[in-house]
Chain A
C-alpha cells in the first residue's frame, strides 16, 4: 500500500471534552461500524473504563475514508489513555502518529490535560489539528475558545474546526483536515524492519498481542523478529489490523499500524516503547524514547486470609502479564503477615489493580497506605530508596531524607484562586508562576508527590466547584523535613499503618488518624488504645472501649436456625477483619490512613 494514502493520528483532549464521542462518530461516518453500535463508545471496552468513563488502556482502529479528492485513505486512529497517571503511555501512543486531533470543549476551554497532552504531542513533532467541540451547547463560546487556542497553545485558533461530535456537525471537516494537514508516514518499506510497540495486551489463546507502528520495512507471519531492548527473538504467528476487530493481513509495511502475535508470554517482554526489528536483518538504531514506565506510588497488598497468599501471587502474576507498568515483590509485615509490595503509576492505577483483584479473582485484600519512594542518605553515607515507611531506618541513622517533587499545573476560574492557593499551601505546594487567561488563571506549583497522590484531586474539584483542572509531571527529589509516624495498638506498633509525613503536619495527621481508627475498629473484649507516635514520643491517643454486651437474649420457640444464621452472617463480616496482635482490625482501617 502506498504510504501516501495512510494517516496515523491520535485524538487528545482533557477528560470529558468528547474524545470518545468524536472517535465513535469517526467510526460510524467511515462505515467502520454502524451508528447504532457506536452508542456504546467502542473504544472504552474494559468494564472499569465504561464505569469510570475514562480510557485506561489505549486502543486502536483502522478507518477507511474516501476523501473529497476521491481517494480512499487508511486512517489509523490510535487512542490514548485519558488520565494523568498514564502520561508515558500517552507519549508512546503519540510516537506512533504523525498528527493529533486536539479537542477543546467550547464551553470549558483549554484545561490542564489539554495543555499537558498538547505538549506531549508538540514535543513529539506531531501536526496538531485543533477542534472545538460541543458547539451545540448553550454555554459554547467558540470565539473565546479560538482565542485560548491561539493564546495558550500558540496554535492558529482561526483554523480550529467548530464541531458537535454529539450531533455529527462538521465532523467530515475533521476527516478532511486529517487527510489534508497530517502528513503521510515516511519510511522505507525496503529498509530493515523497524516497528514501534505502542501497546500490547495479553490474550490467553494467542499470548501477547503487540500493537505496532511500522517505521521501516515489512513484517509478515513466519518472520523471525528481535525485540531490541531485551534481545529476545520470536517468530511472528500473525500480523493484522484493527477494523475495529482484529483481522489478519498478509503483511504490514512501513507507515502502517496493526498488530503482531508471536507467542510472547508476558506483556513485560514486549513493553510499550519497545522496538521490533528483523532478527536476521536488524535495523541500526531503535526508536528513541524507550524507558520503563516508572512506578510512582507504592502500597502493600495483603490477603485477609493467610491461605489466599498463593492465590494473590497467581492473580498478581496474571495481571502483570497484561500490565508492564505494574510491579510487585513479596514483602512481610509484622502486622499483616505475608503480602506484596506493589508499584503503581498513580492512585487510579492502584485502584484499578485492587478492583480487578477483588472482582476478577475474588480476593479479599488489605491495601496499606500508599507511599511514594523516598531517598535516604544514611549517616553511614549509603543512599537507600525506600518505598515502604516501615522500612525507613531509625531517625538517628538518617542523615538526610529526600522526597519526589512534581510540577503541578492548575487551570481555574479567577474566583477560585484564593481557594486553590489555600489548598496548595495545605499540600506544601510552592508557587512557581501565575498567568491570567481572561477569566481564568493558569498556575504552576511544585508539590511533594506524597501530598497529591491521595485526595488532592478530589479536594481540588471540591474547592473549585468542579472547575479546576490539574495535571502534573515528575520533577526531582528534594530534601525534606520528614518524620515517620507510627500507629500503636495497645502499645504495639502496626507497621502497616506507619506513614511518612512532613514534621509540621505530624501532629495534625496523628490526631486525624487515631480519631479515624477509633471510628472503624470495633469494640473488642478489652479496651484498645490507639496511639500515634514519632519515635518513642506519643503525640495522639484515642481509646476504643471494651465491649459491654454481645448476647442473644432468647431463641424463642426453639428457632435455633435463625440464631445460627445471624451468627453466620456476622462471621462473614468478620472475614474482612485482620488479627493484628490481639486486636481485630477491619480492612477499612488500613484505607482510613489515606483518607484522613
Chain B
C-alpha cells in the first residue's frame, strides 16, 4: 500500500536517469554473477500493522491472510535466485530481515524462509542472521523460536524512551515495553542485540534526548543505530509538512551528546549513524558500506551483483504476481560505470570510521581533479578528514558534513 499520491508520483516519474525500468515480464531470466567471494542477503518483509508518519520505506498493511502468499512468492524468488549457475558456489555470509515489520512473522514462518534459504543457497554456518523487531510484536515464544531457527542478532526499533515522543511517532510501544522487549531478547539467548533511536524529532529537546541515550545505554545493548530524522519523500510527514522540528544547532548537539555518551560507554562510532561494542559491528550493514555485494529478496528490496544495482517491484501484490508467473520481480537495474563504482566505494567507505585507502581518493582525483585537491586539503585543514597510514577517514564533525564532500566525489 502506498502512503500517498506523492510517493506514487515519485515512483513513476522520478526514476533516475541511467536506470533501466523493466517492462512487464521482461526482467532478466537469471541474476547477474557476483564478483566477490561472498554475498549478503537482504529480505524485505513489507508488512506493518500501521504506517508511522516519518517512515518512507516500502510497507504494506498487515493482513494475516496476505502473509502465506508473500511467503510462497519469497520461496519462489529464492528458487529463481538459486537457479543462477554461480549460486551454489558463493557462500552467504549474512542475512538481514528488514521491513516493514519482520517480527510480524511467526517462528514457523521465519523458520520456513530460513530453511528454504539454507536448502537452496550456500548459507555459511556462522552467518550473521538479523531480524528487525518492533518492541510490541516481541514475545518470549517468538524470540525463542527465532533463536532456535538460527537467528543470531536482533535489531530492536526502540526509537525513543520518552512516551510522549513515542506517541508522536505513531509507535505502538511505550518506553517500558521497549525495555521489556530488550530483556525478552536477552532471556531468549540473544547476546547480540542492537537498538535503534531517532533524534532531531519534533519537540525533542536536548534534556529528553540525553535521558533517552543514558537510559538506553544503561540497558547494555551491543549495538546502537541512531538516525537524525529526515523528512524523506514517501513519508506522511514529508507530504503534510511538519512543525516543531528542533533548530539545526539542537540536532547537531543531540548527535554530539550521543557520540560522547556512546564513547564513554565503550562503543565505537564505526559508521555515521552506527555505534558498536568491540566485535559487535553489523556484518550485514558493513557489506553496504564496503560496496560489497548482496542479494535482494522481497518487494522493493535492493541488491548489488557484479556491476549491477537492482531493485525489486515495490507493490507486494505485483511482486507476488510476478513470481507466481515465474519471473524475477526486478523493476529497475543499472550497470555501474567504473567511475560510478569508484564514487560509490568512496562515499560509502567514508561513512565508516575505517575510511578508505588513499589510493582510491588519488584515483578519483586523477580522473577529474577540478577543485577536488584543494577541497580535500581544506577538509584536512579543518580536521574534518584525517589521513594517515595510507587511509583517510572522516572525523566526528566530518561525518556531520559528509554529504558536502560526497557530492564532490561523484
Contact = CB atoms under 8 A, between A and B. Distances in A.
A553 B273 contact: yes
A434 B129 CA distance: 89
A570 B405 CA distance: 11
A547 B398 CA distance: 11
A561 B334 contact: yes
B98 interface: yes
B16 A556 contact: no
Contact of B344 (A562, A564, A574, A582): A564
Contact of A567 (B249, B252, B311, B407): B407
B44 interface: yes
B332 to A, nearest CB: 8
Contacts of A525: 378-379, 382, 384, 401, 404
Contacts, number: 104
Contacts of B332: 561
A552 interface: yes
A280 B311 CA distance: 78
Contact of A579 (B288, B303, B371): B371
A551 B16 contact: no
A425 B291 CA distance: 66
Contacts of A554: 225, 227, 273
A138 interface: no
Contacts of A526: 382
Contacts of A563: 347
Interface string B87-101: 000000000001000
Interface in B215-250: 225, 227-230, 248-249
A567 B251 contact: no
A568 B410 contact: yes
Contacts of B296: 558
B378 A570 contact: no
Given A525-B382, A547-B404, 6 more contacts: A525-B384, A550-B404, A553-B228, A553-B229, A556-B98, A568-B16
A558 B302 contact: yes
A352 interface: no
B407 A582 contact: no
**Size class of A's contact patch?**
20 to 34
Contact of B311 (A561, A568, A571, A574): A561
14 contacts: A547-B404, A548-B251, A549-B248, A549-B255, A549-B401, A550-B404, A551-B272, A551-B402, A554-B225, A558-B42, A558-B302, A567-B407, A568-B16, A579-B371
Interface in A526-575: 526, 547-565, 567-568, 570-571, 574
B116 to A, nearest CB: 20
A563 B227 CA distance: 15
B251 A558 contact: no
Nearest to B248: A548
Interface of B: 16, 19, 42, 44, 57, 98, 225, 227-230, 248-249, 251-252, 255, 272-273, 287-288, 291, 294, 296, 300-304, 309, 311, 332, 334, 340, 343-344, 347-348, 371, 378-379, 382, 384, 399-404, 406-408, 410
A552 B407 CA distance: 12
Contact of A548 (B230, B343, B384, B400): B400
A582 B272 CA distance: 27
A551 B407 contact: no
Given A558-B303, A560-B309, A571-B410, A551 B42 contact: no
A548 B228 CA distance: 13
A564 B410 contact: yes
A563 B229 CA distance: 16
Most A C-beta atoms less than 10 A away, residue of B287, B304, B332, B404: B404
Most B C-beta atoms less than 10 A away, residue of A525, A553, A562, A570: A553
A547 B309 CA distance: 32
Nearest to A573: B407
Contacts of B300: 557
B403 A553 contact: no
A567 B228 contact: no
Contacts of A555: 288, 348
Given A547-B404, A551-B400, A551-B402, A559 B272 contact: no
B252 A549 contact: yes
Contact of A550 (B42, B44, B309, B403): B403
Nearest to A548: B248
A567 B273 contact: no
B227 A551 contact: no
B13 to A, nearest CB: 13
A355 to B, nearest CB: 26
A582 B378 CA distance: 9
Nearest to A574: B407
B23 to A, nearest CB: 19
Contact of B348 (A560, A562, A565, A574): A560
In the A-B complex, list the 6 residue pairs whose CB atoms are closest, starting with the nearest.
A565-B16, A553-B227, A548-B248, A549-B400, A550-B403, A559-B302
B180 to A, nearest CB: 26
Contact of A564 (B229, B249, B273, B340): B340
A557 B57 contact: yes
A574 B403 CA distance: 13
Interface string A567-596: 110110010000100100000000000000
Contact of B272 (A553, A560, A565, A571): A553
A556 B251 CA distance: 21
B335 to A, nearest CB: 12
A185 B392 CA distance: 83
Nearest to B285: A558
A25 B386 CA distance: 75
